[in-house]
Structure 1
Amino acid sequence: MKRNRIKILLVMTVISLTVIACNSEVKESKEEFVSVKTAQVKYENISIPINTSGKIMASSETRLSFLTGGIIKNITVREGQKVKKGVLLASLDLSEIEAQVSNAKNGYIKAKRDFERVKNLYSDNVATLEQYQNSETGYEVAEANLKIAEFNYQHSKITAPADGKIFKKIAEEGELVSPGLPVFLFGTTSSSWRILVGLIDKDILKIKIGDSAVVELDAYPNQKLNAFVSEIGQSANPMNGTYEVELNLKSGVNNFVSGFVARVQIYPSRKQGIYLIPSSALVEADGDKGFVYRANKSKDTVEKIPITIIKILDDKLAVQSDFRLTEVINDGAVYLKADSKINIVE
């Protein structure tokens, strides 16, 4: 009997402890609410600026070279020097070229003399028609060779094609250069300036010719220069996969040096619809993808909404989503899970 009473007491004790534990869990589950604050979301059609960088170049920048190959004998200008049209910039060692001209002249004189002699013999019926034609052809070939030699001689020096500036000296005296190999990078001083930048494929589709841009240079730290898109490349650069875009500077500042690095913000004229949300509302970001939480209709649980980040704007994010966003959770969002219960604090 005594043993039965002890068993009953033990069973009642276990039941009591179980009930107390269950009540505690229920109480705790009721208290598992996350206090959060919400923020209103704005939907706007805006122009999202495209940030890029590039180099400043003269609009009429030209690479000057020799038509023929040879050893550079003399360079008369330095890098950055301003020059007048027609000024001699560089010349080749003419020893070999002068010898070629001399040979061509002698060949021409001989061919002309032979042609005149055969022509007289042919008129006297002493030479045949074939001999006459061969001497005539030889004369014409010698004349062409002389013109080529004289042309090469004349182009064995480089002169300034216009009033301008030597942006870069690529070769030095004593170097052996091939025909067409650039020796100088030259630009006219009266020309305007342009900027070449590279854009990725998703950005190239957003812009068009005439779109405005703002340019900043380290050389002019307190100035923002205006520019506009003048050309858009139609094929990607095989080296880096970007598309080349040219912008023309509209600013009156012209004391530039070719090669200045420019930071550029392009403002597409084509606007796009985006949501503006607080940065603190973003959770689980990966690249341009992320998530935000919003309260459901009952305001006591949450929904996890996928978004695409378009641009970071100070303390806000410009995003797009397949879901309609009017309000998101910002304060307390980092403590939420998909099944979290919330308490919205005003």
Structure 2
Amino acid sequence: MNPCLNRAIYAVALLLLCWQGAAQAAEAFPVELRAITQGGGQAQIHAYGRLEATPQKLYFLTDGIMQSLKVVDGQQVKKYSLLATLDPFFIKKEIEQHRQEVAFSRKELSRMQALSSHEVASKKRFDTAQIQLARAQNALQQAQERLKRHNLRAPASGRILHRHLDHAQPITTATPIFDFKADHEPWLVTLRIAAHHMALVDAKVPVKLHFPTHPHEDVSGQVRHSALSQGGGDGHYALKVAVVEKRVFFRAGLQVQATLGRRVADSKGIYPIPLAALSAIHGGQADLYVLKKDQQQVTKLRVAFHRLEGTVAQLYTDLSPYSHYVYRGQHQLRDGVKVRILTPNPKP
């Protein structure tokens, strides 16, 4: 093809592209605006979670064969109550053997003492007899301590939450026997809360806890601590709430609905925005197009929100520099374009 013709086609295409860009820049997209208002958010934060028992797992301190289980799920026990036993057959035979060795060593020591008094036995043989008796007594004491480990007792007054075994079987020191909750340890509730909510929780305000499966068991709780939930990528926190009132729960895992107090000072920074005004909604965030007063150029913001009643979102992103947001027509917009107002300043 002729090089001159190529250059001519390229120049015409460039001219058309520039003309199209200028036309788009001059275009004002039709939109409907609403004024940005603060406040109107909920006085509480609602969250969901599960009941935990702050349980400790109870184990035997020695290996053996399970002989008997003395308690059942949900049973209240006192401190040092016998919970389970291992078969003591072998350890008792060992203790009996050590007792015989102690008795023999004592007789031998007495014999060496008598011979030494008549200068028949040397001092070395007498010292050896003393050492053998001490070793036999130490072995007997250790065996008796191991016998105590064949009994599993309650470390404190509390409740058996779960029994892991139902029949006699071999166990090791790594085999859990019971889930146990001490009376002096509180029940805990773990709530799942979004990061932008976590910053608004007032830890000094009591938490109202409701159990759907126990409608008459509403209790109060107190915020303990929070930590980023496992995985951490979803931006949620695991909030631990201790149950303040004494209640009897026979198992952990119950579903909980919680109402937490919000810091009053933060309620002024809440902006109620209809969900229809948001776009690219994902993971508690969305895009919102806003304008400053007496301007026609929009700004696209990535905002954090909490959905309410399926139609309104509470925004926690600071919108104070702006006066209006685009309610309709935002799907055709880009950051920085000009808009043409269809409905001037309608009430939200």
1:16 corresponding residue in structure 2: none
Match of 2:72 among 71, 78, 86: 78
Match of 2:187 among 189, 193, 213: 193
Q: Distance in 1 between matches of 2:114 and 2:270?
A: 95
- Size of the aligned set, in residue pairs, is 313
Identity of aligned residues (%): 17
2:342 partner SS: strand
Matched, 1:341 2:335: no
2:30 corresponding residue in structure 1: 34
The answer (yes or no) to whether the contact 1:208–1:232 under 8 Å persists in 2 is no
Q: Distance in 1 between matches of 2:187 and 2:46?
A: 21
TM-score (norm 2): 0.71
2:290 corresponding residue in structure 1: 294
2:165 partner SS: coil
The answer (yes or no) to whether the contact 1:52–1:197 under 8 Å persists in 2 is yes
Matched, 1:316 2:310: no
1:312 partner SS: strand
The answer (yes or no) to whether the contact 2:45–2:201 under 8 Å persists in 1 is no
Q: Distance in 1 between matches of 2:315 and 2:237?
A: 25
Matched, 1:306 2:305: no
The answer (yes or no) to whether the contact 1:230–1:247 under 8 Å persists in 2 is yes
Match of 1:327 among 319, 324, 327: 324
Q: What CA RMSD, in Å, does the superposition of the two structures yield over aligned residues?
A: 4.0
Report the CA distance between 1:177 and its aligned residue. 0.8
Could you report, residue by residue, the CA deviation over 1:86-141 in whole angstroms, capped at 9, with x for unpaired residues? 55432222211211111121122222222333344445444444433333222222
Cα gap change, 1:120 to 1:198, in 2 (>3 Å) = farther
Query: Which segment drifts farther, 107-116 or 85-94?
Result: 85-94
Cα gap change, 1:278 to 1:209, in 2 (>3 Å) = closer
One-letter code aligned to 2:341: I
**Larger C-alpha radius of gyration, 1 or 2?**
1
Cα gap change, 1:278 to 1:224, in 2 (>3 Å) = farther
Higher strand proportion, which one?
1
The answer (yes or no) to whether the contact 2:277–2:288 under 8 Å persists in 1 is yes
Cα gap change, 1:95 to 1:214, in 2 (>3 Å) = same
The answer (yes or no) to whether the contact 1:45–1:271 under 8 Å persists in 2 is no
Q: Distance in 1 between matches of 2:126 and 2:102?
A: 17
Alignment of 1:25-104 (within 5 A): 34-42=30-38, 49=45, 51=47, 53-57=49-53, 61-83=55-77, 87-104=81-98
Cα gap change, 1:116 to 1:154, in 2 (>3 Å) = same
1:19 corresponding residue in structure 2: none
The answer (yes or no) to whether the contact 2:292–2:321 under 8 Å persists in 1 is no
The answer (yes or no) to whether the contact 2:27–2:338 under 8 Å persists in 1 is no
Could you report, residue by residue, the CA deviation over 1:57-110 in whole angstroms, capped at 9, with x for unpaired residues? 1x6x44333232111122233222344555543222221121111112112222
Match of 2:169 among 169, 175, 185: 175
Q: Distance in 2 between matches of 1:48 and 1:268?
A: 5
Q: Distance in 2 between matches of 1:33 and 1:274?
A: 30
Q: Distance in 1 between matches of 2:165 and 2:324?
A: 64
TM-score (norm 1): 0.71
Cα gap change, 1:170 to 1:197, in 2 (>3 Å) = farther
Matched, 1:143 2:137: yes
The answer (yes or no) to whether the contact 1:214–1:266 under 8 Å persists in 2 is yes
Structure 1: 5+ residue stretches without partners: 1-25
Q: Distance in 2 between matches of 1:113 and 1:260?
A: 65
The answer (yes or no) to whether the contact 2:31–2:330 under 8 Å persists in 1 is no
